[in-house]
Structures are given as C-alpha cells and as structure tokens.
A = this chain, B = another copy of it.
C-alpha cells in the first residue's frame, strides 16, 4: 500500500469513528436514562447504540469503498472483492457503557490480507482518539495531535499492569494472572481496550487478558506497535486467535511477563 493510500484510509477510519461517535455519545446519555427508569429485565449489554453505530459505519464503507469487506461484532462478515477488510467493534466495554463510566471505546481496524494495518481506538467520553499504522501512532484530541510513545519500562517490578476484570480468568489462567499481578508494581482494572490505548501513550506498561475476539484485538495491534510496544499471546508468539493477549511497553517486559505467566 502506498503512503498516500494509507493516509487516505487512516483519514477514512477517522470519518468512521466520527460517525460512530454521533450515535454512541447521545446513546450513552440515553442508556443512563433508560437504566434509571427500568424496573428490571434481563441483562443485555448489547445496546441498540452498538447496532446503530455499526450500521452507520457499514453504510459509509459501502458508499466510499464498496470493494472492501466488513466484519463487525454486531452484523457479522460481509466479504469484499479486494484485499481489504474492516474489523469493527462499535462499543467495546459495554459494561462501562451501561454504568456511565468513561472507559468504553469504538474499535476500528483495517485488515490487508487478514493482517491489521490501521488501528483506531476512539474514547468519546474523554475525547481521545488513538490511531496507529506503519507511519506510527498518534493521539488525536481536542488539544491537537501528538505522537504516541510507550514507556521504557523493562521490569515487572516497575510495571503498571492493567486488565479488564480479574474474575474473567478461568482455572490455570487465574493462577497465572495472579502471579503477574503480585510481581507488578501496581494493577488497575476495568478499562477494556482503553488500557491498550494508555499503554501506547506510556501510562500503562503491561496488559494481560484472555477471551478476546478478533474485533476486540485487531485495532489494538497497529496502535501498540506504532507506538513502539510489543503485542502477542501469553506464550510469547504473535498468534492472537486464541484470544489471550499480552501487550507490553518493551520486549524485555513482554518476555518477563511470558515467563511469569508460564511458571508452574
């Protein structure tokens, strides 16, 4: 892909994120009102906003890039005619969304032959957009655009660790994460994809999670790598399809975490 083509598609990813924001931000307020009036009902974090935002993104892709495929969390896969496919999660962190907390994001990735080449993590409540590609990663906010750079943290004892929910780990994974947590300097919870965005910005040094779907991790990869970080699975290689994701500010920290997770 040429630099011009890449820049054009990165701008288009921002257009998609703008369209999603126009749906999700008013919905975040509305969901609070609905929640506060509801007398009960089954717990369904997949809101109408999630579906409306994905529809809005899909309509833009169909209009501007009809040859591109789309694979969305809500409406599944629509194969394209060429080598590009968009991978979408309109609202990642639906639990944060229903609680009115700022950590939910919109995830948009462009895959070229199944490999993510552009990643976008949009955090509407805090007004931050994290965009990564082969030209690097940047934070686009109300104050301007800034290059993103991971921290230089190389040891677990100094690492600021994050994961979404310590109770999401099963069996051996729970034990492995507990070892990591005890070895790290500090652990924060509750941020879903936003934790990876903060890793790219240098605020978090290490993130470990399991059970991620492709829509959850595709967008993270270019953002983290474009900021100089390392992302792979818990065994230390690049295949994320098992859903176990480990992201670190440095290669040394990544490898230290792999060793600690694997220890018996």
Query: Which residues of A approach B to under 8 Å, CB–CB?
Result: 32, 35-40, 43, 45, 95-96, 98-103, 125-126, 149, 151-152, 155, 158, 160, 162, 165-167, 181, 185-191, 198, 201-204
Task: Determine if A160 and B36 form an interchain contact, defined as CB atoms under 8 angstroms apart.
Answer: no
Task: Determine if A188 and B99 form an interchain contact, defined as CB atoms under 8 angstroms apart.
Answer: yes
**Number of copies of this protein chain within its complex:** 2
Contact sample, A vs B, 21 pairs, CB 8 Å cutoff? A32-B201, A32-B202, A35-B151, A36-B152, A40-B158, A45-B186, A99-B186, A99-B198, A100-B198, A101-B188, A101-B191, A101-B198, A101-B203, A102-B103, A125-B126, A165-B189, A166-B166, A167-B181, A167-B187, A189-B189, A190-B191
Task: Determine if A167 and B167 form an interchain contact, defined as CB atoms under 8 angstroms apart.
Answer: no
State A99–B191 Cα separation when bound (angstroms).
12
Name the B residues within 8 Å of A35 (CB-CB). Answer: 151, 160, 202-203
Q: Identify which of A102, A167, A187, A204 gathers the most chain B CB atoms within 10 Å of its CB.
A: A102
Q: Identify which of A43, A167, A191, A203 gathers the most chain B CB atoms within 10 Å of its CB.
A: A203
Name the B residues within 8 Å of A96 (CB-CB). Answer: 188
A interface majority secondary structure: loop
Name the B residues within 8 Å of A103 (CB-CB). Answer: 102
Name the B residues within 8 Å of A166 (CB-CB). Answer: 166-167, 189
Task: Determine if A32 and B203 form an interchain contact, defined as CB atoms under 8 angstroms apart.
Answer: yes
State A39–B165 Cα separation when bound (angstroms).
29
Task: Determine if A189 and B186 form an interchain contact, defined as CB atoms under 8 angstroms apart.
Answer: no
Name the B residues within 8 Å of A181 (CB-CB). Answer: 167
Q: A151-B36, A152-B36, A190-B191 are in contact. Are A201 and B167 (CB under 8 A)?
A: no
Residue of B nearest to A125 (CB): B126
Task: Determine if B99 and A204 form an interchain contact, defined as CB atoms under 8 angstroms apart.
Answer: yes
Task: Determine if B95 and A186 form an interchain contact, defined as CB atoms under 8 angstroms apart.
Answer: yes
Task: Determine if B99 and A160 form an interchain contact, defined as CB atoms under 8 angstroms apart.
Answer: yes
A176 to chain B, nearest CB (A): 16
Residue of B nearest to A166 (CB): B166
Q: Identify which of A36, A160, A165, A202 gathers the most chain B CB atoms within 10 Å of its CB.
A: A36
Name the B residues within 8 Å of A165 (CB-CB). Answer: 187, 189
